[in-house]
Amino acid sequence: MKCKPTFVHRLWGTIFFHNLLYSDRQYGSNYHLLNTIAEYKPFEPQGKTGLRKYVRSKWCQKNEVSRVFEDLVKDAKFKYVFLSYNNEGLMSVDEVRRIMEKYGRYELSQIAYQRFKADKTEARNHKAVGTSEYLHILEKN
């Protein structure tokens, strides 16, 4: 399975903006009906929800995301590469910096946000009330 966008080898330009998934949460289950219609192939429903099997993206695997991100940055034929990412992502801010600095001049911008709360306060998995959103900026050599 190809995990980096297949189009990145065919495009070139000035600005490439990427907004990676922050967690190991896969979205295949959210869009399984649309995926089933688009694929137009028979499948065997799985479990109570009737989901189809899907391949877990390397972008959502902590032990793979740095490698596929570096491949994308290296292969991008753009003058500037921007990445929007937060402090709860699979890659640390230092890991993103380490990768991007290899390919040119790196800058970082940061802004604080109130954390999105999808669960009840007493049952929260994440106790932090805020999060940091980063804009990683690379001017490629």
Per-residue pLDDT tens digits for 49-91: 777 777 778 888 899 999 999 999 999 999 999 999 999 899 9
Using an 8 Å Cβ cutoff, are 106 and 94 in contact?
Answer: no
Strands (E), 38-101: 77-86
Give the number of other CB atoms < 10 A from CB of residue 38.
9
Segment 9-27 mean pLDDT: 82
Residue 5 pLDDT exceeds 60:
no
Residues 56 and 60: their CA atoms lie apart, in Å, by 7
Where do the structural domains in the chain lie, given as residue ranges? 14-140
Residues 21 and 89: their CA atoms lie apart, in Å, by 8
What is the pLDDT, as a whole number, of residue 1? 41
Two structure tokens written together for 138? 């690379």
Q: pLDDT, tens digit, for every residue of 116-139?
A: 766 666 665 666 788 899 999 999
What pLDDT band is residue 2 in, cutting at 50, 70 and 90? Answer: very low
